Amino acid sequence: MVAETLKTNSSGLDSRSREIRKTVVKILEASRRGHVGSTFSLIEILRVLYDDVLRYEPKNPKWSERDRCILSKGHGCLALYAILAEKGFFPEAELWKFCQSDGILGGHPEYGKVPGIEASTGSLGHGLSIGIGFALNARYEKANYRTFVILGDGESNEGSVWEAAMCAGKHKLSNLTVMVDYNKHQSYGTTYEVQDLEPLADKWRAFGFAATEVDGHSVEELRSVLLNLPLQSNKPTAIICHTVKGKGIPFAENNLKWHHKNKVSDQEIESMLAALEEN
Amino acid sequence: MRQLCLDTVYELAKKDPRIFFIGSDLGVGTLQKFKQEMPERFFMEGVNEANIIGMAAGLALEGKIVYVNTIATFLSRRCFEQIVLDLCLHNVNVRLIANGGGLVYAPLGPTHLAIDDIGILRTIPRMTIVAPADEAEMARLVPQTVDYPGPIYIRLGKGNEPILTTDDVPFQIGKAIPMRSGTDALIVTTGVTLKAALDAAASLSKQGLEASVLHVHTVKPLDAQAILDHAADVSVIVTIEEHTLMGGLGSAVAELVAEANFNPAKRFKRIGIPDVFPEQYGSQESLMERYDITADKLVAVVASLVEQRREPLQAMAT
């Protein structure tokens, strides 16, 4: 199976990917909780988007020409928070108040509270429809901004994802890109066991998308596809990003106990930081 | 009522480029002129209501004012989470035009009856729920929805309701309208049951009982002040609505009255649909009869409660 092959070929992490992960571990050290596995599979997707692809102004987060990015799998928000803080959307100090009563960063990202968050997500299956609204508005206004929606694989069990996919295909929204963080694991088990999505790329094609598959931890592969959008001039794009849940922390990789983690111990924090040094 | 509502949206859209329309899979020819003249702002998206709500939220987050139209229950029941999260949490200007509020779709059975829509939507922060009584009121409502902040649910009646509302009192979303005054009882109504309320008040008057009628076209935000002001002067309060007894107007008024610390001898009763799935087809009218949502029932309830209210007082006097 393509997915399994790509998983084992994931490239090693460079220093930037390790640094972002260390920031996430420091957030965990402060909060002792979070969707660890779902966050670490997502780092390179967000890193490449925010380093190389998206147009935005951190001090003017409502800039009308900015590209819109929705993290529809909102539970991966630790990765997004780490990157948004680094880019200057909000002070780094907010990171250490994750999930606390005096903080703005909750366990799922909230529109209106967090600069740079385009839509409140967390309940799965909402982001793509909202993104379609953004993309249709760009078409109506003849604006050049683009819309990116990041979906989870477990999220893709939701019927509303496929309602939205049908709609985006119908409208030939070439200014819309879907990225699926396909780490092959959901909460209870593998996607193959719980609700198999295969053939996933072909599903998106059948719904009217131009689809491709990349190693979701390969910065080069992600850049290569994201800097050449759309894949086809008259279709929305779907990029299936083959990833590893918990990527970068060997004891958390593909380990369902790390999907969501409570009461993260000092020992676990130390082990995670050590793993990121060695990787 | 629906046609007038949609025609008004079309007229408003001609003047306001922020206005978009999204339908699900509506009847052929719906808003044909809108589609022809403003195709870039007209969408007919098929039977995917959850997606439509999210899409509307996305457009509204970009500053558009989006009117969505489909059958009431496919909004309130099927799209509940999208309404809560995509519309109300984001506080966007999306207007839900809900066909067939209440028992309108009686011949089509319980899958199509929106008898719980007010109760469902009333739980959501930032939601506005409006149920006009007739077309004249709809005509006054729709222009006000353009710049009203946040999501709005517009509950449509069947159509061809008698015109009972006037512009004597300026229409304002959130402001109940006193339709008749009296000191023996207060009848509180929303939407098309205004007719039963006014007919009942007229009959009661012939019996020597004068009832106030308060038309609460906006069930949320509730005009608590108007209800409490009117309730203060009477000994009997009865609500009537084309809705289940749980969670609708009657519940909202009960909550207010219970917390208002009125004299406990004040009598209160709700008229509406009991806790059942309607088991008959027929017509809106026949189901209204079946569940006693009628002027006759209202007269009987008010008269009976006034009588009960008098008894202890008379007993105390002797």
Given B101, B123, B155, the domain boundary residue is: B155
Higher-pLDDT residue of A44, B308: A44
Specify which residues B67 forms β-bridges with.
Answer: B21, B95
Interchain contact, A133 vs B41, CB within 8 Å: no
Q: Are B107 and B136 in contact (CB under 8 A)?
A: no
- Angle at which helix A159-170 crosses helix B49-61, to 10 degrees, equals 70
Do residues B65 and B195 share a domain?
Answer: no
Do residues B40 and B107 share a domain?
Answer: yes
Percent of chain B scoring above 70 in pLDDT: 97
Distance CA B278, CA B114 (A): 11
**Is residue A133 within 8 angstroms of chain B, CB to CB?**
yes
SS3 A255: coil
pLDDT value at B13 more than 90: yes
Which ipTM did the prediction report? 0.95
Mean pLDDT of B64-92: 98
Do residues B245 and B211 share a domain?
Answer: yes
Write out residues 184-243 of A within 8 Å (CB-CB) of B. Answer: none
> Is the bond leading into A199 cis (omega within 30 degrees of zero)?
yes
The pLDDT tens digits of the residues spanning A103-129 come to 999 999 999 999 999 999 999 999 999
Range scoring the smallest mean pLDDT among A220-224, A257-261, B236-240: A257-261
Do residues B308 and B195 share a domain?
Answer: yes
Higher-pLDDT residue of B149, A277: B149
Query: For position A10, what pLDDT does the model report?
Result: 36
Query: For position B313, what pLDDT does the model report?
Result: 55
- Residue B264: pLDDT band with limits 50, 70, 90: confident
The pLDDT tens digits of the residues spanning B200-218 come to 999 999 999 999 999 999 9
Closest C-alpha among B138, B165, B106, B125 to residue B11: B138
Chain A neighbors of B16, CB-CB under 8 A: none
Which of A65, A67, A113, A132 is the best residue to mutate to test the B interface, defined by the most B CB atoms within 10 Å of its own CB?
Answer: A132
Name every residue whose Cβ is closer than 8 Å to that of residue A81 and which is 6 or more positions away in sequence: A27, A94, A95, A98, A105, A109, A114
Interchain contact, A118 vs B61, CB within 8 Å: yes
Do residues B10 and B97 share a domain?
Answer: yes
The pLDDT tens digits of the residues spanning B110-153 come to 999 999 999 999 999 999 999 999 999 999 999 999 999 999 99
The pLDDT tens digits of the residues spanning B40-64 come to 999 999 999 999 999 999 999 999 9
Interchain contact, B64 vs A137, CB within 8 Å: yes
Asked, for residue B168, whether it belongs to a domain, the answer is no
Name every residue whose Cβ is closer than 8 Å to that of residue A163 and which is 6 or more positions away in sequence: A129, B48, B50, B51
Which chain B residue lies closest to A142 (C-alpha atoms)?
A: B40
Distance CA A123, CA A1 (A): 30
Q: How far is A217 from chain B (nearest CA, A)?
A: 30
Query: For position B317, what pLDDT does the model report?
Result: 55
Query: For position B315, what pLDDT does the model report?
Result: 57
Interchain contact, A137 vs B59, CB within 8 Å: yes
Distance CA B51, CA B44 (A): 12
Q: How far is A129 from chain B (nearest CA, A)?
A: 5
**Is residue A131 within 8 angstroms of chain B, CB to CB?**
yes
Query: For position B316, what pLDDT does the model report?
Result: 55
Higher-pLDDT residue of B312, B67: B67
Mean pLDDT of A200-223: 98
Asked, for residue B172, whether it belongs to a domain, the answer is no
Query: For position B280, what pLDDT does the model report?
Result: 96
Mean pLDDT of A241-261: 92
Chain B neighbors of A166, CB-CB under 8 A: 46, 48, 51
pLDDT value at A95 more than 60: yes
The CATH number covering residue B115 comes to 3.40.50.970
Residue written as token pair 């026949």: B286
**Is residue A63 within 8 angstroms of chain B, CB to CB?**
no
Instruction: For B216-239, give the DSSP string.
Output: -SEEETT-HHHHHHHHHT-SEEEE
Domain count for chain A, please give it.
1
Do residues B19 and B97 share a domain?
Answer: yes
Write out residues 34-53 of B within 8 Å (CB-CB) of A. Answer: 40-41, 43, 45-46, 48, 50-53
Instruction: For A140-209, give the DSSP string.
Output: HHT----EEEEEETTGGGSHHHHHHHHHHHHTT-TTEEEEEEE-SB-SSSBHHHHS---SHHHHHHHTT-
pLDDT value at B318 more than 70: no
Query: For position B312, what pLDDT does the model report?
Result: 60
Do residues B53 and B184 share a domain?
Answer: no
Select the residue of A137, A141, A163 nearest B50 (Cβ to Cβ).
A163
The pLDDT tens digits of the residues spanning A177-193 come to 999 999 999 999 999 99
Which domain, by its residues, includes A81? 2-278
β-pairing, B177-180 vs B211-215, is antiparallel
Asked, for residue B103, whether it belongs to a domain, the answer is yes
Maximum separation of any 2 CA atoms in chain B, in Å = 76
pLDDT value at A11 more than 50: no
Do residues B110 and B210 share a domain?
Answer: no
Query: For position A22, what pLDDT does the model report?
Result: 97
Query: For position B178, what pLDDT does the model report?
Result: 98
Do residues B14 and B150 share a domain?
Answer: yes
Quote the pTM value: 0.95
The pLDDT tens digits of the residues spanning B152-182 come to 999 999 999 999 999 999 999 999 999 999 9
Which chain A residue lies closest to B90 (C-alpha atoms)?
A: A111
The pLDDT tens digits of the residues spanning A157-181 come to 999 999 999 999 999 999 999 999 9
**Is residue B61 within 8 angstroms of chain A, CB to CB?**
yes
Interchain contact, A119 vs B53, CB within 8 Å: no
Interchain contact, B58 vs A120, CB within 8 Å: no
Do residues B249 and B304 share a domain?
Answer: yes
Interchain contact, B51 vs A130, CB within 8 Å: no
What mean pLDDT, rounded, does chain B reach? 96
Domain count for chain B, please give it.
2
The CATH number covering residue B244 comes to 3.40.50.920
Which domain, by its residues, includes B282? 177-317
Given B155, B185, B211, the domain boundary residue is: B155
Distance CA A69, CA A235 (A): 18
Asked, for residue B139, whether it belongs to a domain, the answer is yes
Asked, for residue B274, whether it belongs to a domain, the answer is yes
The CATH number covering residue A165 comes to 3.40.50.970
Chain A neighbors of B51, CB-CB under 8 A: 129, 132, 160, 163-164, 166-167
**Alpha helix stretches (DSSP H) within chain B:** 2-15, 32-37, 49-61, 72-76, 80-82, 117-122, 135-145, 194-206, 224-232, 249-259, 284-290, 295-317
**Is residue B136 within 8 angstroms of chain A, CB to CB?**
no
Q: How far is CA A266 from the centre of its chain?
A: 27
Q: How far is B252 from chain A (nearest CA, A)?
A: 29
- Angle at which helix B2-15 crosses helix B135-145, to 10 degrees, equals 30
pLDDT value at A33 more than 70: yes
